[in-house]
Amino acid sequence: MTAVMAEALDRGTREALAGLLLAMADDEFVLGFWDSEWTGIAPLLEEDVAQSSIAQDEIGHAQALYQLLAEVIGGDADRIAFGREPAAYRHARLLDHARTDWAFSIARRFLYDTADAARLDLLVACAWPPLAGVVAKMRREETYHLLHMHTWLERLASGGDDARGRLAAALERLWPDALTVLAPLPGEELLVAAGILAEPMAAAEQRWLASLRPIFTRLELPFPFIQLEGERLETTLAVPAEPRDGHDGSDSFRWLWGEFTMVYRSDPEAVW
Amino acid sequence: MRSLEVYEVFKREREGGPMIHAGNLLAPDPELASHYAREFYGRRQESIRLWIVPRAAIRELDDPDLLQPPFDRSFKKPAGYSTEIKRKLAEARGRVDGRVEGEPEEVEAG
């Protein structure tokens, strides 16, 4: 694949690239803040450190992606990250849920991390070198995140009735919104044509579900999909019509937004 | 959290360096112990290798009769031996410089 320069892209493709970067950055940013809510109250000190460190990694990924976005659309990465109203965020609806209990946070992070891994796979050979570079680094850090989440999923699934029950209930509640992470993005066909994205998001979603199926089957956890003709996995769940819009309608997200923009809003012009 | 176990962690900071004791942690199983060791002793890129050992697997020896016997053991130490040689040499030099009577000449030549 020949390398492309962002400024050489036509307007539609640039907009689609900006949309992809914003979606990915907001996902990492919002999840990072949700999981940092566990700092100080995780089940044991060691896990507290682990969970907080993983949450920090996600904020780091968001920072790198906002930086790339600033290169494409101009402006300042911090302003993009902190200077928007809740309605302007483009994270997946999966990330509108509050932290809730430990099993819920693990279930959400497991679903997100595995879906995100499938998305990153589409960007390994990205024709825009800056994004390929950031993705390569993200994938190395995600190796540990995935390992940690698989361990916790197994642990809760094979724990007592309480742990298992909470995990299963969380998954039931999260599955419809989990499908928003790899929902098609506006203009993604332009990104595929430009070699920025290897395939449409739907291809990543199928691979993601296929990879989860044996795990959920073995652990007897909720997996609300059926296999139609061929290999395709389909769901009867009502997936949200606006996978990445309308976050001003979420009380949980509005609260989180208030927390993570509090310092920035106190003086947006401050120099740190 | 059910039964937690203590794990001792050793780290290597650079290629060719020794494994040194880094500290310890609590974990509910060996797998999470590895994850936590990574967080505690590796997340700032300060290690290139970690050993994670359940404390229960460590054989401990702290009996003073075995480790700190009462009689002088300096003759078992290489440093003690060389100190003794140095002392004898210095003594011999002193005797030659001081023209001590009846001492053989060869001592200085050695």
Q: Is A268 helix (H, G, I), strand (E, B) or coil?
A: coil
What pLDDT, on the 0 to 100 scale, is given for residue B2? Answer: 59
Task: Output DSSP code: residue A8.
Answer: G
Ordered strands of the B5-12 beta sheet: B20-27, B5-12, B49-54
> H/E element holding A76?
none
Chain A hits for B25, Cβ within 8 Å: 46
Distance from CA of A233 to the nearest CA of B (A): 32
3-state secondary structure of A145: helix
Start and end residues for every CATH 3.10.20.520 domain found in chain B: 5-57
- Using a CB–CB cut-off of 8 Å, the residues of B that contact A are 1, 4, 25-29, 31-32, 35-36, 38-40, 43
* Residue A19: predicted pLDDT: 98
**Mean pLDDT, all residues of chain A:** 95
Q: Where are the domains of chain A?
A: 6-266
Percent of chain B with pLDDT over 70: 83
Residue B105 confidence (pLDDT) above 90: no
Q: What is the pLDDT of residues B31-64, one digit of tens each?
A: 999 999 999 999 888 999 999 999 999 999 999 9
Residue range A149-196, pLDDT digits in tens: 999 999 999 999 999 999 999 999 999 999 999 999 999 999 999 999
**d(Cα A120, Cα B25) in Å, to the nearest integer?**
33
pTM score, whole prediction: 0.87
- CA dihedral for A150, A153, A156, A161, sign (positive or negative): negative
Superfamily grouping for domain B5-57: Phenylacetic acid degradation B (3.10.20.520)
Taking residues A139-145, what's their average pLDDT? 95
> What is the structure's pLDDT at A272?
74
A95, pLDDT greater than 50: yes
Tell whether domain A6-266 is in CATH 3.90.1710.10. no
Q: How many residues does chain B have?
A: 110
Q: Which of A92-101, B69-78, B80-89, B90-99 has the highest mean pLDDT?
A: A92-101
Of B1, B35, B40, the CB nearest to A44: B1
Percent of chain A having pLDDT more than 90?
Answer: 90
Task: For residue A58, give both structure tokens.
Answer: 């996600």
What is the DSSP-derived secondary structure letter of residue B99? Answer: T
Q: B24 pLDDT band (50/70/90 cuts)?
A: very high
Q: Alpha helix locations (H) across chain B?
A: 30-41, 64-67, 78-97, 106-109
**Residue A61's closest CA among A141, A4, A158?**
A141
Mean pLDDT of A30-59: 96
Nearest CA among A43, A44, A163 for reference residue A103:
A163
Nearest CA in chain B to A48: B36
Q: What is the mean pLDDT of residues A89-106?
A: 97
